[in-house]
């Protein structure tokens, strides 16, 4: 089987794409700050049974940002354009975290395109409610704070961003082979990505959206979520939250 790594022109921008395998097509949409090479091991295994595609959404990795501000609606539009460009019929779409939120938007915008959805620990349409939980002595992880951080990061040089993201880069390098370490550094030191993140956070996660009331299509969907009890214990033990705070967050 031939591995294809390329930039696919979808009209107003080019997207960085990884493709391998034959047969039924599975398309993977990584999370908000997650690159396609974090999925390569899984994709290699899946490609023995299907055609697997994983891609970096606009402004991530080598993918262009384009001129329109980023949000779930635009990301879903790009995915639909990619499917059309590659002449794919009835793909199975898998989305992780924010990628899962993009697929929920996609399902409502293009209800007849996918034959199935897999949402892996997906961000919820109600994620904006997390900022309503009052946590003792904590305001550094609010959506507003992250938006401001991303705006600051978007104005830094690549070298300064590598320094700023050093701890994050080190953790990613521990999970990935050495052949991907340079790509990790480049991915995490991309000012354009953080510009898009600020836009996505503000539009998609800061408040509820008008699409909130639209109905998910009658398409086979597998939802893989984390264990609530284990998550509550982790928030209490690792993040120092009170049990009631952790329970409220997990309920949302």
Q: Name the CA radius of gyration of the chain, rounded.
A: 18
What are the structural domains, with CATH classification, of the chain? 4-251 (3.40.50.1820)
pLDDT, tens digit only, all 252 positions of the chain: 688 899 999 999 999 999 999 999 999 999 999 999 999 999 999 999 999 999 999 999 999 999 999 999 999 999 999 999 999 999 999 999 999 999 999 999 999 999 999 999 998 888 888 777 777 655 556 888 899 999 999 999 999 999 999 999 999 999 999 999 999 999 999 999 999 999 999 998 886 555 445 688 999 999 999 899 999 999 999 888 899 989 988 888
Strands 4-9, 14-20: pairing is antiparallel
> How is the beta sheet containing 92-96 ordered, strand by strand?
4-9, 14-20, 51-56, 25-29, 92-96, 116-120, 221-224
Asked if 206 contacts 125 with a C-beta cutoff of 8 angstroms, the reply is no
pTM for this structure? Answer: 0.91
Backbone dihedral angles phi then psi of residue 23, each to the nearest 5 degrees: 100, -150
Please give the structure tokens belonging to residue 196. Answer: 């898009």
Q: Which residues of 94-104 are buried (b: 16+ CB within 10 A; e: fewer)?
A: bbbbbbbbbbb
Asked if 168 contacts 35 with a C-beta cutoff of 8 angstroms, the reply is no
Residues 6+ apart with CB under 8 A from 222: 116, 117, 118, 119
Residue with tokens 């990790």: 184
Residues 6+ apart with CB under 8 A from 251: none
Q: How far apart, in Å, do the first and last CA atoms of the chain sit?
A: 43
Question: From residue 87, how far is each of 43, 207, 219 by CA, in Å?
Answer: 20, 35, 20
């Amino acid at each position: 089987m031939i591995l294809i790594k390329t930039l696919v022109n979808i009209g107003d921008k080019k997207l960085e794409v990884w493709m391998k395998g034959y047969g039924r097509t599975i398309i993977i949409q990584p999370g908000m700050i997650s690159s396609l090479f974090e999925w390569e091991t899984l994709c290699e295994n899946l490609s023995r049974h299907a055609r697997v595609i994983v891609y970096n959404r606009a402004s991530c990795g080598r993918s262009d940002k384009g001129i329109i501000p980023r949000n779930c609606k635009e990301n879903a539009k790009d995915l639909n354009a990619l499917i059309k460009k590659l002449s794919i019929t009835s793909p199975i779409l898998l989305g992780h975290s924010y990628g899962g939120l993009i697929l929920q938007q996609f399902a409502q915008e293009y209800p007849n395109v996918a034959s199935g959805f897999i949402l892996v620990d997906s961000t919820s349409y109600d994620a904006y409610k997390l900022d309503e939980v009052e946590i003792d002595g904590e305001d550094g992880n609010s959506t507003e704070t992250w938006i401001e951080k991303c705006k600051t990061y978007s104005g830094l040089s690549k070298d300064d961003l590598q320094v700023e993201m050093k701890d994050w880069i080190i953790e990613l390098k521990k999970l990935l082979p050495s052949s991907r370490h340079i790509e990790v550094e480049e991915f995490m030191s991309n000012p354009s990505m953080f510009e898009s993140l600020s836009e996505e956070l503000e539009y998609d996660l800061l408040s509820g959206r008008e699409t909130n009331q639209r109905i998910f299509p009658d398409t086979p969907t597998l939802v893989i979520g984390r264990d609530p009890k284990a998550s509550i214990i982790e928030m209490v033990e690792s993040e120092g939250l009170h049990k009631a705070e952790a329970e409220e967050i997990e309920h949302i």
